[in-house]
Chain A
Amino acid sequence: MMLCDYTAFELAYMLRKKQCSAMEIYSDTLQRAKEMQTITNAYISFNDEAFKTAEKIDIMIAEGKDFPLIAGIPIAVKDNISTKGLRTTCASKMLCNYIPPYDACVIEKLKKAGAVIIGKSNMDEFAIGSASDTGYFGAVHNPINYYNSAGGSSGGSAASVSSGGAVLAIGSDTGGSVRQPASLCGVVGFCPSYGTVSRYGLIAFASSLDRIGSIGRTVKDTYLLHNIINGSDPKDVTTSDIFYPFNLNTGLSGIRIGIIKELMESYADDDVKSSVMDAIRLMEKNGSIIKEISISNIRSAVNAYYIISSAEASSNLARFDGIRYGYRAPKCENLSELYKKSRSEGFGEEVKRRIMLGTFVLSEGFCDDYYKRAVSLRSRLCSEFNEAFKQCDVVAAPVYPKAGIKLGVKATLTEVYSADIFTVPSSIAGLPAISVPCGMTRDNLPVGLQLIGNRLCDKIVFDVAYWYELIRGGIYGET
Chain B
Amino acid sequence: MAKLESVIGLEIHAELKTATKIFCGCKNSFGEAPNSQICPVCMGLPGTLPRLNSKVCDFAVKMGLALNCKINNISRMDRKNYFYPDLPKAYQISQSDVPICGNGSLDILVKDQIRKIGITRIHIEEDAGKLIHDDEYSGTLCDFNRCGVPLIEIVTAPDIKSSDEARIFLESIRSILRYIGISDCKMQEGSIRCDVNVSVHEKGTPLGTRCELKNVNSFSAAVRGIEYEIIRQTELIEKNLSVERETRRWDDKKGISILMRNKENARDYRFFPEPDLGAIVISEEKVNSLRAEIPELPNKKVIRYVYEYGLNYSEAFLIADNHDKAELFEKCIEKGECSPKSAANRIVGEITKYMNDTGKSISETMLTPKELSKLCVAAENGTISSSAAKTVLAELIINGGNTDKIIEKLGLAQNSDDNYLCRLADDVISANQKSVDDFKNGKSNAFGHLIGQAMKISKGKADPKKIKDIILKKLKMEE
Q: Which residues of A contact B (CB under 8 A)?
A: 81-82, 88, 90, 95, 98, 100-102, 104, 199-204, 206-208, 234-238, 311-312, 314-315, 318-321, 323-325, 335, 339, 359, 362-364, 367, 371
Contact = CB atoms under 8 A, between A and B. Distances in A.
B51 interface: yes
Contact of A202 (B47, B88, B278): B47
A359 B79 CA distance: 13
Interface string B264-281: 000010111001111000
Interface of B: 40, 43-52, 79, 81, 83, 85, 88-91, 142, 268, 270-272, 275-278
A203 B46 contact: yes
Contact of A319 (B46, B275, B276): B46
A228 B414 CA distance: 88
Given A359-B270, A363-B270, A312 B277 contact: no
A238 B268 contact: no
A78 B85 CA distance: 29
A315 B47 contact: no
17 contacts: A81-B47, A90-B46, A95-B46, A100-B47, A199-B49, A236-B49, A237-B51, A237-B52, A238-B276, A315-B91, A318-B81, A318-B83, A321-B83, A324-B43, A339-B83, A359-B270, A367-B270
A81 B43 CA distance: 18
B40 A102 contact: yes
Contact of B47 (A203, A208, A359, A367): A203
Contact of A311 (B48, B89, B272, B276): B272
Given A101-B40, A318-B81, A319-B90, A362 B49 contact: no
B49 A200 contact: yes
A305 to B, nearest CB: 14
Nearest to A311: B272
Contacts of A98: 46
Contacts of A238: 275-278
A100 B46 contact: yes
Contact of B79 (A88, A104, A315): A315
8 smallest A-B Cβ distances: which pairs? A318-B90, A208-B275, A362-B270, A207-B275, A203-B46, A201-B47, A82-B47, A203-B47
Nearest to B86: A323
A235 B47 contact: no
Contacts of A321: 83, 85, 90
Given A315-B81, A335-B85, A367-B270, A235 B275 contact: no
Contacts of B142: 323-324
Nearest to B272: A362
A386 B251 CA distance: 58
Contacts of A81: 47
Nearest to B267: A364
A82 B46 CA distance: 8
Contact of A100 (B45, B52, B90, B270): B45
Contacts of A363: 268, 270
Given A202-B47, A323-B85, A237 B276 contact: yes
A234 B50 CA distance: 10
A384 to B, nearest CB: 21
A364 B79 CA distance: 14
Contacts of A208: 275
A371 to B, nearest CB: 6
